[in-house]
Each structure stands twice: as C-alpha cells, then as structure tokens.
Structure 1
C-alpha cells in the first residue's frame, strides 16, 4: 500500500506514537509538524473543534500536505468542564513553561474535598486535504472515568495516571499502549476517522464506475 504523507499538527511524541500506530494500517504516514519546520498555531478558541480546525489548516498551509490535528483534553464535572481546552497549559508558569506534573498538581489541588470525581477525556480530530478544504472531516471521541488524588501507573502521558476507569479497575496509565489504543478517547475518534475516510474512498470508487 502506497503511503500518503500527512502532517500531524502537533509535536507531542505521545500523540505521534498513538496516531502512527493506528493510521499506518490504512496507508497514512504521520509526520510531526516540527520536523517540517512548522510552528505551533495559536489556539484562541473555547471549543475543541475550532482549535483543531485552526491547527490543521495552519499545518497544511505551511507544508502543502494534508494535515491532521486534534484538540483534546480532560473535562471534569465538578470543575464545570475545566481544564477542558486548556488541559495542556492548565498550570503554565509565568515564563511559559508547562509540564504534566504541574498540570496534575493543580488538578489534584482543585479537586481537594470534592466528592463528585466524574470526568471525561474528549478528542476532536480534524482532517483537511488542503489548507482551504471546504469540507474537513471532523470526528469526536469520548472516554469517561474519574479523577484520583494519587497517581497510578507509568504508561501514557498528560493526566493518564490520575484518570481512573471503574469498569477496568485501572487508570489510563496502567494500561499498556496496545490496550489504550483500543479504548481511549483518541482511539475512538481515530476509529471514527478511519470509517469516514473509508466511506469517502468507497464513494469516490463508485463515482468512477458510473
């Protein structure tokens, strides 16, 4: 199968690994935007879909390649949806430094004394064939769980060590990468993307035969 090069509008190595593992099966070769000299796009919006679309168009315009972007984060019911679209920069320091450790520390502090521990990860994926694609493919994946006060597990990234899955009795960080790629918010969104792209290819094939 000939590989279609697609720029991933992110420099997050964890996302690149997860996306590459799944999308390589359908002939998509994911390349992180940083390796192509693409700067990070601004994310000024309050919704996942607007930020993802902005990032995808930015990466595609800079490279001339199709682009895939995701905007994802953890939404906590007791915090009225926070950290939400600000998940990656929830505890950003004054000098701009951000880290998973600081983000998690802030989350634990904000959840202190709260009994409602419900939370969910959300991932919105946007695939554009060109920077001005008038019909971008947009899919969403949701992964429900609870927030813990102490970390468990060594896999994953972000808030995974604090994100508990009652039905599995494990945190996201206690799942192997292979297990996580089957059930995560990103995996669910990717499955939706694969289905959408497959339907599109089938429609094009049918049109050619008419």
Structure 2
C-alpha cells in the first residue's frame, strides 16, 4: 500500500477514457454522474471483461489501491477504484471493509440479508445500543505505470429499521445521514450525490486532479 501522495506528486487526469474498476452497476452509475461534467469517458471493468480481484486488504485504502492498480495494468488506461463501507459504532466499526461480505450468498450479493445481519447484531447489543454509524469511501486513481493516489471521504448518520426507500444500493435504505430525516434510498440521486461519503472523496479528487 502506498503512502498518501504529497501535493507535489499529484498527477493531473486528462479528459478521455477512464476505467471504473467496479462490477457494481449502482456504484458505476454514481461515479459516472460525478465525472460527466469533466469530459471523462468512464468505462466499467465489467464492460472490458476485467476480473474482480480478491480484496485481501484490511483497510479501505489497501483494497481501493489493489483494484485500481489491477484495472490500470490490464486495460492500459488510467483506472479509478472505490472501496467503501458502512461502519457501525456499536459493532466496533463492523462491517467496515467487509461490508460486501455481509451480503454474500451462494447466488450473489443479497443486501436485504446484509442489512438484516446488521440489525440483528445491533439488537443483540441491547435496546440502548448506539445506532450511530458512518460510511467511508476511498477513491484510488492509478495509471498503468503504477502511479497511484487516493482520497477519502466520510458521511456520518444513524441507522433506521425497517429499511426505507427504493433508490440507491447497498445499505442505503437503513442509513439516515446527519441533518436529514430520510434515508439515502429515499433521496433523489442528485441530493445524495451532494452529501454522500463518495461525494466528499470526489470533491478532493476533483480539486486535485481535474
């Protein structure tokens, strides 16, 4: 895992093709919406038939970097990877970097199952357990020559139950961001993009490289 890139080492990203190192269609849609104003032609890893690497890192930064570096190496293009997750205070930060693992089933990812697991784990802590939580997003931008730089964003909030809303993906239906009374999944996508953990990371990336 690389260290945070010092300001003088930041490499600018020119308009053109950029691989989004993800097979998550919802995540790719969000990233495309954020990049569209900057002349970036985003191509998903799925469109290029790139394999999904095993996420062996123990931090969001490590997993984002390994995904971005692999996609850049295999495609010969700059690549952007996102590693993000839900961290629940009362669960010691879980599911954290294992956010997607909580959704895994033999037939693919089941996010209703994942949200239920979180709720059951909280219930086991008792009625007074804190429902505070936050999302973390790390964006890693890599080039085929191995240069990589990353940016981290965070969004704080609380968990609600049962799930509410049909927009978004992942744990969005149970996450109410601070200052709001609706879940991510009840928000218009543009509203979520303005306040999300991914938007916070993108604001840093845009300021640095675009």
Query: What TM-score comes out, normalization by structure 1 length?
Result: 0.88
Query: Aligned Cα RMSD in Å?
Result: 1.4
Matched, 1:85 2:111: no
Mapped partners of 1:62, 1:46: distance in 2: 23
Query: What TM-score comes out, normalization by structure 2 length?
Result: 0.88
Retained in 1: the 8 A contact 2:156–2:178? no
Task: Mark the runs of 5 or more structure 1 residues left unpaired by the alignment.
Answer: 199-210
Q: How does 1:1-210 map to 2 (within 5 A)?
A: 3-93=15-105, 95=106, 97-112=108-123, 113-114=126-127, 115-133=129-147, 136-198=148-210
Mapped partners of 1:26, 1:137: distance in 2: 19
Deviating 4+ runs (over 3 angstroms): none
Q: Alpha-carbon deviation of 1:97?
A: 3.0
Write out per-residue CA displacement over residues 177-209 of structure 1, whole angstroms, 9 at most, x where no aligned residue.
0101100000111111101104xxxxxxxxxxx
Q: Alpha-carbon deviation of 1:88?
A: 1.1
User: Kindly tell me: are residues 155 and 122 of structure 1, through their superposed partners in 2, closer, same or farther at Cα, counting changes over 3 Å?
Assistant: same
Task: Write 1 or 2 for the structure with the bigger share of helix.
Answer: 1
Report which of the two structures shows the higher radius of gyration computed on alpha carbons. Answer: 1
Mapped partners of 2:204, 2:178: distance in 1: 24
Retained in 2: the 8 A contact 1:57–1:131? no
The answer for the alignment partner of 1:203 in structure 2 is: none
Q: How many residues align?
A: 194
The answer for the alignment partner of 1:201 in structure 2 is: none
Q: Alpha-carbon deviation of 1:7?
A: 0.5
Task: Mark the runs of 5 or more structure 2 residues left unpaired by the alignment.
Answer: 1-13
SS in 1 for 2:114: helix
Q: Alpha-carbon deviation of 1:96?
A: 6.2
Write out per-residue CA displacement over residues 83-126 of structure 1, whole angstroms, 9 at most, x where no aligned residue.
00111121423x36321111111111111135200000000000
Retained in 1: the 8 A contact 2:16–2:41? yes
Retained in 2: the 8 A contact 1:77–1:118? yes
